[in-house]
């Protein structure tokens, strides 16, 4: 089963507006999803850049998003734990929360990947991508993605 992940900030495959990057306000884009499967307890989102010169760069990790939410508003603050109970992990800059596209050169792709999980993940804020991937193993009911591109001016 695939989750439909969309944004009013940009369409799949299109350029991400500067507002959501290191050249702008560096705030997270709005995200909305549909088709969450029955049995889903929480959701997780990973945003990363596979085109980074030193290997895949992590821009955002957020997990334990309540399954009854249908999206995230623009500009999620860099708080460890959000009012909904969702927790944020460390990005590639070793900071909690969203860090927008900031490619050193060329056009990079940024994948926002969503996962529907049959469990709540039992760890504190600040998880890394590898910790999250390991914890999700065997618990993913469905997933989806949205890809945007960005190149610096």
User: Rounded mean pLDDT of 69-93?
Assistant: 97
Task: Give residue-wise pLDDT tens across range 94-127.
Answer: 999 999 999 999 999 999 999 999 999 998 999 9
Domains of the chain: which residue ranges?
4-150
CA torsion 51→116→132→29, rounded to 10°?
Answer: 50
What distance in Å separates the CA atoms of residue 126 and residue 120, rounded to the nearest whole number?
Answer: 15
Please give the model's pTM, rounded to 2 decimal places: 0.96
Task: Give residue-wise pLDDT tens across range 18-38.
Answer: 999 999 999 999 999 999 999
User: Rounded mean pLDDT of 4-16?
Assistant: 97
Q: What is the 3-state secondary structure (H, E, C) of 74-143?
A: CCCCCCCECCCCCEECECCCCCECCCCCCCCCCCEEEEEEEEEECCCCCCCCCCCHHHHHHHHCCCEEEE
Superfamily of chain region 4-150: PEBP-like (3.90.280.10)
User: Rounded mean pLDDT of 129-141?
Assistant: 97
């Amino acid at each position: 089963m695939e989750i439909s992940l969309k944004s009013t900030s940009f369409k799949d495959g299109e350029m991400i507006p500067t507002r959501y990057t290191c050249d702008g306000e560096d705030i997270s884009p709005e995200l909305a999803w549909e088709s969450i499967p029955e049995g889903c307890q929480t959701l997780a989102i990973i945003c990363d850049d596979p085109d980074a010169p030193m290997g895949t760069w992590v821009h955002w990790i957020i997990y334990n998003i309540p399954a009854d939410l249908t999206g995230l508003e623009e500009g999620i603050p860099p708080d460890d734990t959000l009012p909904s109970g969702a927790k944020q992990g460390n990005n590639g800059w070793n900071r909690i929360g969203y860090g927008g596209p900031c490619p050193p050169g060329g056009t990079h792709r940024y994948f926002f990947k969503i996962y529907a999980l049959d469990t709540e993940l039992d760890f504190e804020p600040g998880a890394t991508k590898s910790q999250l991937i390991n914890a999700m193993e065997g618990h993913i009911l469905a997933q989806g993605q949205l890809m945007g591109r960005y190149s610096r001016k």
